[in-house]
Structure 1
Amino acid sequence: MGESKQETLLKLVVESESERVVGIYMLGNYAAQIIQMIALAMKAGVTKKNFDSTISINPTVAE
């Protein structure tokens, strides 16, 4: 895999009381692939705490 020097911006929109993720903004390569998985998690009621406690794998296909 080649090295990618491009930056990606990710912003979660969180409902303050429950910390439930209610939206996401993402700019960068492969954003559609990643947002698709986050949308599924949002339907399941994912919270910010869930994201904070998750260790991501690296590298991924999207990278």
Structure 2
Amino acid sequence: MRFAFLFDVRQTLLSDFRINNAILGKCGGFLWLFVLSVFAWGFWCDVSICNIRFGIHVELGTSSPLGM
């Protein structure tokens, strides 16, 4: 009886995992697009604020979060 219960739990977890993967597979593209657009918008605002505030030309890549 105990093994049947464990097998049932395992099957339930596997089916939930498959459903979650299907949902993430469909939404994954939208999530990546959202993250990239937020990063690009933040980078553009950072460069624009530097240009307005200091009147200088900021080279591309100087205000990336990684410090490149």
Q: Structure 1 length as normaliser, TM-score?
A: 0.30
Q: As a proportion of its length, which structure holds more strand?
A: 1
Identify which of structures 1 and 2 has the higher relative contact order when contacts are C-alpha pairs closer than 8 Å and 6+ apart.
1
Rg larger in structure: 2
Q: As a proportion of its length, which structure holds more helix?
A: 2
Q: Structure 2 length as normaliser, TM-score?
A: 0.29
